Every structure is written in C-alpha cells, then in structure tokens.
C-alpha cells in the first residue's frame, strides 16, 4: 500500500490551552468566530467528514446551525447503537478499522475527523489518524472534556506548521509519526 497516495485523515479541532474541547457543561462558546482561521482553505482540501454518534446527534438537534458555512461533504456517522442515520449520510456500525482503511484508499480528497472524543480516541488507537491540526485558544478551561481519553499508548508527533493570529490563537499542525 502506497500511503503517500492515500487520503489523509485529519483531526482538526479547537482546544483550550489545557487541551480540552469542551468546558465542564459542554461549552464551546469560547471558540473564536471572528475570522476564518484557515477553515476555508481546509474546506478545499477535504470532501468527507467522520462524525461520532454524540456529535451527530448534537448536529441534528442544532439543524442548519450545526455547520454554518460548510460546503456539502460526504458524511460517515460512526455508531454501534444507531440503526439508521439521515438519508445523505452513511452509517458505520462495525469493522471500523477495515472500513476506514477502505475509505482512505478510495479516490478523493482528505477526510476531516470532525469528532467527538470517543471516535477520535478509537481511531487514534487504531493508528488511522494521519495529522492533528489544533486551534489552541488563549484560555484555560480548567475542567471539561479532554481531546483524548485513554489512548492505548502515547503517540509521537512531528511539528509540520505553526501560525499565530493577533487574537492570540495559535494554530499547530502535526503529523503522526
């Protein structure tokens, strides 16, 4: 398998300086919305989203407000418990490793690992995540949901790129070694 030609699976997410993706009550209102922070360039690089069950249900409940300004992406929903998902999405219930490897080998742009924490942890543990792009916000939440929980082992990274914004947001890009 020539991994150079494979579609990359990219975890791109906003975190607090202390590595949390949500506050203690699920808050994500601390995420900066004042500018693009490279998101539109990222949108050109991807065509597919990987979404965990909880995140999917949250997005459903928010309706069109869940992903304002997003182009139409192909969506895979990962869940062991759901029996069906919305018509224009694809449910992945089992054989995650096999199916994700197959998708990554298909022709297409890169894939956004959209979240949440459980799916992210599973795919990291399966060694299927290629890059981490973290928008580090200038605050400490001090409690809430961590980016990863219970990885099988530490994962070494290679710093690819770093960009600093006047708002204090620092965008860090790493590849998984």
Q: In whole angstroms, how close is the CB of 149 to a copy of itself at the nearest point?
A: 7
Minimum CB separation of residue 27 from a copy of itself in Å reads 8
d(CA 127, CA 70): 27
Query: Does 152 sit near a copy of itself (CB under 8 A)?
Result: yes
Cβ–Cβ under 8 Å, residues 42 and 25: no
Binding pattern for the stretch 57-76 against a copy of itself, x by CB under 8 A and - elsewhere: --------------------
Q: How far is the CB of 9 from a copy of itself (least distance, A)?
A: 15
Token duo for residue 169: 């947001």
User: Which of 66, 140 has the CB closer to a copy of itself?
Assistant: 140
Q: Tell the residue number behind the tokens 């029996």, with chain if given.
A: 83
| DSSP assignment letter at 149 | S
Give the Å distances, CA to CA, from 39 to 13, 42, 45.
11, 5, 10
Residues near a copy of itself, by CB under 8 A: 15-20, 23, 30, 121, 124, 132, 134, 136, 138-143, 146-159, 162, 164, 168, 170, 172, 174
């Amino acid at each position: 398998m020539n991994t150079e030609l494979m579609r990359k699976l990219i975890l791109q997410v906003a975190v607090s300086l202390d590595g949390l993706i949500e506050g203690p009550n699920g808050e994500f209102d601390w995420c900066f919305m004042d500018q693009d922070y490279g998101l539109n360039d990222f949108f050109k690089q991807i065509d597919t989203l990987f979404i965990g069950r909880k995140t999917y249900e949250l997005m459903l409940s928010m309706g069109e407000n869940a992903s304002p300004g997003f182009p139409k992406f192909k969506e895979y929903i990962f869940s062991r418990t759901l029996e069906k998902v919305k018509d224009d999405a694809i449910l992945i219930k089992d054989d995650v490793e096999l199916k994700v490897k197959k998708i990554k080998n298909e022709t297409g742009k890169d894939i956004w690992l959209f979240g949440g924490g459980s799916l992210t942890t599973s795919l990291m543990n399966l060694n299927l995540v290629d890059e981490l792009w973290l928008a580090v916000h200038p605050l400490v939440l001090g409690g809430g949901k961590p980016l990863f929980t219970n990885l099988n082992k530490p994962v070494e990274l290679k710093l690819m790129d770093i960009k600093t914004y006047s708002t204090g947001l620092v965008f860090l890009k790493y590849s998984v070694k």
